[in-house]
Amino acid sequence: MKLQTQRWIDRWVGQLLCAVVSAWVHFKGCFGKPRGLAAKPRHILVILLSEMGSIVLAGPMFAALRRNYPGAAIHVLQLKKNQEVSRLLGLTQAECLHALDDGSGLSLIRDILRVSLALRRIKLDAVIDCELFSRVSALLSFACGAPLRVGFTAHTQEGLYRGSFINRAIPYNPYQHISKQFLSLVDALDDVAATPRNKTAPIRSLPTDPELSVPFETDELQSYHAQVMRDHSALAGRKVVLLYAGGGILPERAWPVQHYARLAQGLCQSGYAVGLIGLKDDATLARSLIAQVSNAACVDLTGYTRSIRELLMLFHACDLLITNDGGPGHFATLTPIQTMVFFGPETGRLYGPLGQRNQVLESGLACSPCLSAYNHRLTFCDGDNQCLQRIAPDPVLADALAYLRRDSVATVA
C-alpha cells in the first residue's frame, strides 16, 4: 500500500474510529474503575510499526522491560517486512512475534483482525504503543484487549487526535531523544498517581548502548571477510569505506549524489577503497556513482548482502560507514565500525544512532528538521533538500580521512 494512502486512511478513517472507541471506553468507565498492572504480569505487548532502525533505538526499552518484568513474556507487534531484524536481535521468543502485512489494504485489514483475535486469547496484562500519533497503532492497543494501555498523547495540540482511551498517557516531548521517551513508556506501566506519568520517572542520560547484540564466531567473521575480498579484489589490502547513498522510502533524506561522488573520489585518491551498499533497487544509483568516480577502487556492493546478518558481517569487515539517515546507521551501532550519518529533514538530536562510534552531520539550516510527528513526516521542501545539499563534501572527506589515518596510527601502536 502506498505511503500516502496509509496516511489518508490513518487520518480520516482513523480519527473516526478513535472517537467511537473513546466514547465506548468512557461509557464502560462509568461502571467500574480501571485496572492497574498485575503484581507479576504474564504478557506485555509492544507495538512498534516504524522503520527497522527504530528497533535498534528501542533496544534500551526492551532491556528495561526484561529487567523490570523477568517473568513476563514480551510480545512484539510489527510490520511483516521488519521481522527479520527482531528475529536476528532476539527481541523475544519466536512465538511472541506478531506481524501485519501492509502490502495491500486487504492484507492489512485481514491481519489486523487475525492478530487482534490472537492477542485477545493471550489475555495481555498491558500494551505499550511506541508509535507517536498513529491512529492504527492506538486502535490496535485497544483491539488486543489489554486493560492497561500505554502510549503517547498530544495533550492540547490540535490536529493530532487519536482518542482518549490510552489510560497511561505520556506527553510526547519533541526535545528529547526517542530512546529516552521509549524508556518513559516503561516507567508509565507502574506509575499510577502522577500526571503526566513521566514526572516521577528517573532522571536519565541518553543511553550509550542499544543493549542489543548479534553473536558472531571469530572464524565466521574471518571467513566472510576473506569471501568479500575474493569477490571484490579491488578492496583487498586497503581500508574499506562503505557508502549508503540511497534515500529509502524518504528520498529527501539523501545527501546529493554528486557530493557522494566527490567524497568517493577523494577517498580512492587517498588510497582507500569504497564500497557502495544498498538494496538491489539502488544498483542504478551505484552505477551512476561508479561512472562519476571512475576509479577501480570504487565497487558496487548493492544487493551483495542477502540478509541483515550479512550486512552486519560486512560492517565487521570494513572500517567506516558514511550513510544517509536510515537503518544502516543504526545497525552499524551493533558492530565495531565507525559511522558518519547525514541528518537534515530529521534530526540526530531525536533519532541519532546510540553509542560512541558515530558522528552526526547536520547543516543547521533554519527549516531543518522539517519531518516530525506533527506532520506525519511529510516535508514541504518538494525534494529540494537544501539542509543536506549545503553540507559540502570536502569537510566530510577531511573528517573521514582524519578518522581513517588516526585509526591506522592506533592500530600500529
Comparing 4-18, 56-70, 114-128, 289-303, the range with the smallest average pLDDT is 4-18
Domains 3-200 and 218-412 share a fold: yes
Residue that is written with C-alpha cell 534515500 in the block: 247
Residue range 165-187: average pLDDT? 92
What pLDDT, on a 0 to 100 scale, did the predictor assign at position 7? Answer: 81
Inter-residue contact 334 to 352 (CB < 8 Å): no
What pLDDT, on a 0 to 100 scale, did the predictor assign at position 410? Answer: 65
Helix then strand count (H, E) for the chain reads 16, 12
**pLDDT above 80: residue 68:** yes
Phi, psi of 299 (to 5 degrees): -120, 155
Confidence of residue 402 (pLDDT cuts 50, 70, 90): very high
Which carries the bigger pLDDT value, residue 341 or residue 413?
Answer: 341
Alpha-carbon distance of 182 to 241, in angstroms, equals: 32
Top-level CATH class of 218-412?
alpha beta
3-200 placed in CATH 3.40.50.2000: yes
Residue range 170-197: average pLDDT? 84
Q: How many beta carbons lie within 10 A of that of residue 390, not counting itself?
A: 13
What pLDDT, on a 0 to 100 scale, did the predictor assign at position 198? Answer: 65
DSSP assignment of 110-156 equals HHHHHHHHHHHHHT-SEEEE--SS-HHHHHHHHHTT-SEEEEEE-TT
Alpha-carbon distance of 245 to 324, in angstroms, equals: 6
HSE (side-chain half, CA atoms, 13 Å) at 185:
32
**pLDDT above 60: residue 182:** yes
**80-128 pLDDT, tens digit each:** 999 999 999 999 999 999 999 998 889 999 999 999 999 999 999 999 9
Residue that is written with C-alpha cell 521542501 in the block: 381
Among candidates 75, 50, 62, 22, which has minimal Cα distance to 131? Answer: 50
Bridge partners, 78 (sequence order): 99
Residue range 133-143: average pLDDT? 95
Burial of 101 (0-12, 13-18, 19+ CB in 10 A): middle
**pLDDT above 80: residue 34:** no
HSE (side-chain half, CA atoms, 13 Å) at 180:
20
Comparing 74-88, 165-179, 259-273, 373-387, the range with the smallest average pLDDT is 373-387
Domain boundaries, the chain: 3-200, 218-412
Residue range 62-82: average pLDDT? 96
Phi, psi of 100 (to 5 degrees): -120, 135
